[in-house]
Structure 1
Amino acid sequence: MSDDTTYKGSCFCGSVQLLVSGEPEAMGYCHCDSCRQWSAAPINAFTLWKPAAVHITKGEENIGTYNKSPQSFRKWCKTCGGHILTEHPELGLTDVYAAILPELPFTPGLHVHYQEKVLPVPDGLDKFKDAPEEIGGSGIRLSE
Structure 2
Amino acid sequence: MTNSKKTYKGSCFCGAVQFAVSGEPDGMGYCHCESCRRWSAGPVNAFTLWKPEMVEITLGAENIGTYSKTPHSYRKWCKTCGGHIFTEHPGMGLTDVYAAVIPDFPYHPGIHVHYQEAVLRIKDGLPKMKDGPKEMGGSGVSVAE
TM range (shorter): over 0.9
Q: Does 1:93 align with 2:98?
A: no
What amino acid does structure 1 have at the position aligned with 2:79?
Answer: K
2:46 corresponds to: 45
- Taking the TM superposition and a 5 Å limit, the aligned residue runs for 1:68-87 are 68-87=69-88
Taking the aligned partners of 2:41 and 2:137, their CA distance within structure 1 comes to: 26
- Taking the TM superposition and a 5 Å limit, the aligned residue runs for 1:1-144 are 1-2=1-2, 3-144=4-145
Alpha-carbon shift at residue 86 of structure 1 (Å): 0.1
Gapped regions of structure 2 (runs ≥ 5):
none
Taking the aligned partners of 2:7 and 2:71, their CA distance within structure 1 comes to: 29
Taking the aligned partners of 1:69 and 1:127, their CA distance within structure 2 comes to: 24
Question: Aligned pair count?
Answer: 144
Deviation digits for residues 43-98 of structure 1 (CA, Å, limit 9, x no counterpart): 00000000000000000000000000011000000000000000000000000000
Gapped regions of structure 1 (runs ≥ 5):
none
What amino acid does structure 2 have at the position aligned with 1:11?
Answer: C
Taking the aligned partners of 1:107 and 1:101, their CA distance within structure 2 comes to: 13
The runs of at least 4 consecutive aligned structure 1 residues that moved more than 2 Å come to none
Q: Secondary structure at the match of 1:99?
A: helix
- State the identity %: 69
Deviation digits for residues 24-59 of structure 1 (CA, Å, limit 9, x no counterpart): 000000000000000000000000000000000000
CA RMSD of aligned residues (A): 0.4
Q: Secondary structure at the match of 1:122?
A: coil
TM-score between the two structures when normalised by the length of structure 2: 0.99
